[in-house]
Chain A
Amino acid sequence: MMINRFSMNRRQFLQASAAGLATVAVPGLTGSTAFAQEALTVGFIYVGPKDDYGYNQAHAEGAAVIKAMPGITVVEEENVPETVDVQKTMESMINLDGASLIFPTSFGYFDPHMLAMAAKYPDTQFRHCGGLWQESKHPANTGSYFGFIHQGQYLNGIAAGHASKSKKIGFVGAKPIPQVLQNVNAFLLGARSVDPAITCQVIFTGEWSLAIKEAEATNALVDQGVDVITCHVDSPKVVVETAAGRGAFVCGYHANQSPLAPEKYLTGAEWAWGNVYADFIKTAQAGEKLGNFVRGGLKDGFVKMSPLGPGVPEEGRKAFEAAHAEAMTGKLSVFKGPLKDNKGNAVIPADKAYAEDAIDLESMAYLVEGVVGSTS
């Protein structure tokens, strides 16, 4: 076994070096059409465990999709902190595994870590999850991809609005940052499309992964009469299990959590990274230039919904399907005026309706009317 390991490592290393010398391992820079015949090693880096029922699992499921594609070797590393560790992991994947395309999946990997490695290894392609790439500021061998998942939270809200008896729904959020605020607001707006009397209580835990506070927040929500809960934390497992254990319904996030609470799981907003990664790989194998700024929503197959659970009543099913069909056309506008924040200020005028990809949404700093909670 040990001899096998060693000879394999060396062979991979030599292959990669040879490929590097011949500059054919560099998709997009050479324009070589012979690239389709070459082996491609792709590195995936996760900030947490690959089986967290959440953010990291969603990416690992995407990696599993391309692992099955011919000519592709996938190397993965989990639990890599956003420190010099991730820089070294990228370098190790490039130097020891011969990776020529790297997906550092955590938001905090971008600046300064991925940018530093991209400058050091200009022949390696880096694509980062999060939508931070700007043509004027960032090198050409880097890029971003992200999805409009707030639409999924809007659909979650519709299912929640039909399932809730108390008309109080709840949200466990990590931090009051634009991406999370979009989701909280979309969840409430979805529910209010069913019944304008519904309110949504939000609790921020302050950390992306802090199981104890997530459980406390979930219990506190149920204690206040909330009967449908969703979340935006790295691993929704604790929220889903705690809420279902207390008898509340849950809507999922990041990945499909229905196996954790089959009776109480209504639906969930999931990433469909397999589609996104497969597209990148096909582009690379065709010898074409990889996109630098790739975004999409339900229509584009970046985001998908978990199958509806038994807790969604029949009319809820119909409303969900109708809104889902609208979202699949790309024309569903979740954030449209007139809209006030929960302090009474008008935030979107009556004649304004934001498209799903509107760049203004990415700096959202308010909670809409009907959300109980504060951004600070």
Chain B
Amino acid sequence: MTVEANNSALSLEPGGVSSFRPALEWLARRAEPVVIGLAAILTGLALFSVFILAIGKSPVALFQIIYAGGFGSWFSLQNSLSRAAPLLLTALCVALPARLGLVIIGGEGALVLGGVAAAAIATPLTGILPPYPALVGMALAAMLGGGIWIGAVGFLRHYRGVNETISSLLLSYIAIALMNQLVEGPLRDPASLNKPSTFPLPADYRIGAIPGMDVHWGLIIAVVACVLSYVLIEATRFGFAARMAGGNVRAAQIQGLPVGRLIVGFTAIAGSFAGLAGMLEVAAVQGSANASLAAGYGYTGILVAFLARHNPLAIIPIAVLLGGLEASGGLIQRRMGLPDATVVALQGTLFIVILFCETFYGRFKVFNPDLWPDIRKGNRT
């Protein structure tokens, strides 16, 4: 799916018109995803406008509300960022395995299990440890839980040939059922009568807001996770090996790369990020683990990862964009009287158009300096 930038630039003679050429080539290669991505988003918005016109509403008013509700003020921007925080981590759960050629859609299950693991270990930890170490312990438990869950998907894929897409989806149903069983059974706070939950986290063990903002620290943690993932993929041997295995698994095996360990390792890291998202939901938002953890963040994360073309840095703006769309969804309902499904339809339209536009990568000569005419030889094909 990913088209790697080909860095074997032409060897150019110094001097002459071609002295600008390296800069132009650099620009052209990096412009491709931006131009195609923007064109896809604009096409998607145009198509969606037709739909809005067809139901007798003004697309201009709609887009203005989306802007006002998602980004137009400090309040709206914080609203979008709050919603984006869990999406960053669940998108990583999709993007990292995708670099190995795996399509994993079960991040929801890893998130839910991470939340339950964090809440389960919180009960003993909060009794013996001060807040920071206890929170670190909760985060580790959550990452372990999520990591084992999605790591198992990678294991089944490599060693037993089980389709990772199906197994991750089915395992996420199992995870949600397991969460319900634990929260309604052994982990239940008896005081939670009509909404079974684990024991609430004491107030001083909760993760608070970033100073000056209304967004919890989970956003910063998630952004750091995205940056670390980018470094892992782009700047480490482990990441290089994974990309190679993702490009051609047989070639990687012939080269002697440990493909099995790469797959299990990457899926486990991916799952641990989704598990961490669950821990943040418990420690920063819910205060306990309960059925509200299964709120669909794992599924929206799939959308974010695909829109970001599985690039961990691109996940950051895309998650904020989708957070903004969801933040404005309420305003669309309240101001225009449109159903909640409007935003879902918009997301779906954008998703399809962007996936369609993936097929244009590498098709335009202007973005591929290798195909540019060689001016020095007067070759103007």
A contact set with B: CB distance below 8 Å:
1-2, 5-6, 9, 49, 75-85, 88-89, 91-93, 95-97, 107-108, 111-112, 130, 175-179, 206-208, 362-363, 376
Given contacts A5-B65, A81-B292, contact A92 B196 (CB under 8 A): no
Given contacts A2-B58, A91-B75, A91-B79, contact A81 B295 (CB under 8 A): yes
Report the Cα distance A91→B195, complex, angstroms. Answer: 24
Given contacts A79-B340, A83-B295, A91-B79, contact A6 B64 (CB under 8 A): yes
Given contacts A2-B64, A5-B61, A130-B194, contact A83 B335 (CB under 8 A): no
In the complex, how many angstroms separate the beta carbon of B86 from the nearest chain A beta carbon? 8
Is B9 in the interface zone, CB < 8 Å from A?
Answer: no
Residue of B nearest to A92 (CB): B330
A178 contacts B334, C-beta separation under 8 Å:
no
- State the 5 A-B residue pairs at the shortest beta-carbon distance, nearest first: A82-B292, A79-B340, A81-B295, A1-B58, A75-B334
Binds A, one of B28-36, B100-108, B235-243, B281-289: B281-289
Q: Which of B116-154 contact A (CB under 8 A)?
A: none
- B194 — which chain A residues lie within 8 A by C-beta? 107, 130, 177-179
B64 contacts A5, C-beta separation under 8 Å:
yes
A2-B61, A75-B334, A84-B83 known; 12 other A-B pairs, CB under 8 Å?
A: A6-B64, A9-B335, A77-B330, A78-B340, A82-B292, A88-B83, A92-B331, A93-B334, A112-B286, A177-B193, A206-B177, A363-B193
A108 contacts B290, C-beta separation under 8 Å:
yes
Report the Cα distance A79→B295, complex, angstroms. Answer: 11
- A5 — which chain B residues lie within 8 A by C-beta? 61, 64-65, 335
B contact set with A: CB distance below 8 Å:
58, 60-61, 64-65, 68-69, 75, 79, 82-83, 177, 180, 184-185, 193-196, 281, 285-287, 290-292, 295-296, 326-327, 330-331, 333-335, 339-340
A85 contacts B83, C-beta separation under 8 Å:
yes
In the complex, how many angstroms separate the beta carbon of B277 from the nearest chain A beta carbon? 12
B64 contacts A80, C-beta separation under 8 Å:
no
- A95 — which chain B residues lie within 8 A by C-beta? 75
Report the Cα distance A175→B185, complex, angstroms. Answer: 12
- B193 — which chain A residues lie within 8 A by C-beta? 177-178, 362-363
B339 contacts A78, C-beta separation under 8 Å:
yes
Report the Cα distance A363→B51, complex, angstroms. Answer: 49
B79 contacts A92, C-beta separation under 8 Å:
yes
- A207 — which chain B residues lie within 8 A by C-beta? 180, 291
A76 contacts B334, C-beta separation under 8 Å:
yes
| Sample (18) of A-B pairs whose CB atoms are under 8 Å apart | A1-B60, A49-B339, A76-B333, A77-B333, A78-B333, A78-B339, A83-B281, A83-B286, A84-B83, A84-B285, A88-B83, A89-B330, A92-B330, A93-B334, A96-B69, A107-B195, A108-B290, A363-B193
B196 contacts A83, C-beta separation under 8 Å:
no
Report the Cα distance A95→B216, complex, angstroms. Answer: 20
Tell me whether chain B's interface is mostly helix, strand or loop, or mixed: helix
Residue of A nearest to B58 (CB): A1
Report the Cα distance A91→B180, complex, angstroms. Answer: 30
In the complex, how many angstroms separate the beta carbon of B314 from the nearest chain A beta carbon? 23
Report the Cα distance A6→B287, complex, angstroms. Answer: 38
- A9 — which chain B residues lie within 8 A by C-beta? 68, 335
In the complex, how many angstroms separate the beta carbon of B196 from the nearest chain A beta carbon? 7
- B334 — which chain A residues lie within 8 A by C-beta? 75-77, 93, 97
- B69 — which chain A residues lie within 8 A by C-beta? 92, 96
Report the Cα distance A103→B295, complex, angstroms. Answer: 21
Residue of B nearest to A110 (CB): B195
Report the Cα distance A208→B326, complex, angstroms. Answer: 23
Residue of B nearest to A176 (CB): B184
- B79 — which chain A residues lie within 8 A by C-beta? 88, 91-92
Residue among B177, B285, B287 having the largest count of chain A Cβ atoms under 10 Å: B285
Residue among A9, A75, A92 having the largest count of chain B Cβ atoms under 10 Å: A92
Residue of A nearest to B326 (CB): A85
- A79 — which chain B residues lie within 8 A by C-beta? 340
- B61 — which chain A residues lie within 8 A by C-beta? 1-2, 5
Given contacts A1-B61, A206-B177, contact A376 B185 (CB under 8 A): yes
Report the Cα distance A82→B281, complex, angstroms. Answer: 11
- A88 — which chain B residues lie within 8 A by C-beta? 79, 82-83, 327, 330
Report the Cα distance A92→B60, complex, angstroms. Answer: 21
In the complex, how many angstroms separate the beta carbon of B56 from the nearest chain A beta carbon? 11
In the complex, how many angstroms separate the beta carbon of B58 from the nearest chain A beta carbon? 4
- B195 — which chain A residues lie within 8 A by C-beta? 107-108, 177
- A363 — which chain B residues lie within 8 A by C-beta? 193
In the complex, how many angstroms separate the beta carbon of B112 from the nearest chain A beta carbon? 13
B296 contacts A2, C-beta separation under 8 Å:
no
- B185 — which chain A residues lie within 8 A by C-beta? 376
Report the Cα distance A206→B179, complex, angstroms. Answer: 11
Report the Cα distance A234→B182, complex, angstroms. Answer: 22
A96 contacts B331, C-beta separation under 8 Å:
yes
